[in-house]
Chains A and B, each alone.
Chain A
């Protein structure tokens, strides 16, 4: 197998397995247990764990330190990095810092706008955008060079990924935009939460027509509803989210004490259906503040146990 990095996630893809990732959001405080406890809940059911980077623009324990905590548990972290808060010096520096702890996965994002968070009066940086961060990380790894052109001693060896939202507008460039990310060097893609399965399957169809599913590993994003209220909130309030009315109704029609189970059931059904979608190479399960349910979802969806030795 021709691997470019020591990443376990890359190994799982290369061995032809359906990969599974999930994520842990760091706390708004300095207690490392807030991360390590979540990681403990999901560690036997996933191949790698995303650590979000000041998600929703709320100031939190940093992604890099959190990644180090779970790396020290013997787990496989995915360092999320947004371009909102750091310039090119800081981002390259943090990539070296992560590499010094043998963190082998990176996910490049632009990040939620700071107006949604606790520092709405702050500056945003966006010295690079997410595609340029992908290019930067690939250049650092593949050419062993900084953006400025100098050689890097012991370059980072990171498997480089990006996010994609098949549901954002304008639709006509959703696939060209993925093509751009692939051209920039994205080796895997984690999608936005998928609720509108037909629309996602249409997107995948268009992705396959361009052969992009052969050039990058697409992981379908899955989020279980915790309640009918959450479904309604996400449908109405979260930008770039596509939740069919029928799904909101299904949650609303379920008695309150059974809504959690129904939410899990919907997630499992989605995974089972999308496993059949050609070009889907894995699942990224975003159970926000509900990490304890990840094992149940993975087991019921037939994605457990994880390959012990992917290579």
Chain B
């Protein structure tokens, strides 16, 4: 899923301070799972903002709503009927949802309420870690199912570098060395000899380097 983290409330206050009628818009997908932008976080943020502005002696109309998704027109259109009641919208969806909602409501200022961080997994409640950078050309078949692009600080294809120590990365003692994980996994699969195959120069054109990307599937288009 897409993992996001809450923005500090001070930053959101700064974004919306000149608006009076504000909708806090959550998303029921990834940001709900990572507890950054679901219904619960919408409630908490809305209450905190109301409290903040009341304390300032400035009562604002702050309302709450959480959509099923903000990355699908079908759901984003659900606020069509009420959008003109607001002069600003704070979206707690990922960067995709923020932008997609903005595209649907050109006259409505929209502000992000979370920082979109990475594609990751829930290790346990309260801990999410990165697994994928969407490089567009998956190499996991060659690396024992562990991704050096997202999990090695130097994203090196033929690791580990000299900074691997006791299974940890030199940049942070809490961070596992991706190449230690790869070597261990190849070993447990009985495929350690594959380590010696040189990984060729990567085609980064399917990555961010190639410009904004799209997936187009004529077979499923109606």
Contacts and interface: CB of A to CB of B under 8 A. Distances in A.
A277 interface: no
A159 B159 CA distance: 23
B163 A180 contact: no
Contacts of B198: 131, 135, 180, 183-184
B177 interface: yes
Interface stretch (B32-40, B58-66, B120-128, B149-157): B149-157
Given A132-B157, A173-B183, A168 B164 contact: yes
B165 interface: yes
B167 A169 contact: yes
B190 to A, nearest CB: 14
A110 B156 contact: yes
A168 B195 CA distance: 16
Interface in A121-138: 124, 126-132, 135-136
Contact of B156 (A129, A173, A239): A129
Contact of B163 (A83, A126, A240): A240
Contacts of A163: 162
B171 interface: yes
By secondary structure, the B interface counts as: loop
Interface residues of A, number: 36
B215 interface: no
B44 to A, nearest CB: 30
A240 B196 contact: no
B160 interface: yes
B196 A176 contact: yes
Given A165-B162, A168-B163, A240-B164, A127 B204 contact: yes
Given A113-B171, A176-B196, A130 B156 contact: yes
Nearest to B177: A169
Nearest to A166: B162
B154 A124 contact: yes
20 contacts: A110-B161, A113-B170, A126-B155, A129-B156, A129-B159, A129-B199, A130-B156, A131-B199, A132-B201, A147-B201, A168-B160, A170-B164, A170-B167, A170-B180, A170-B183, A173-B183, A173-B192, A176-B196, A239-B163, A240-B170
Closest 8 CB pairs of A and B: A239-B170, A165-B162, A129-B156, A131-B158, A240-B162, A239-B163, A168-B162, A110-B161
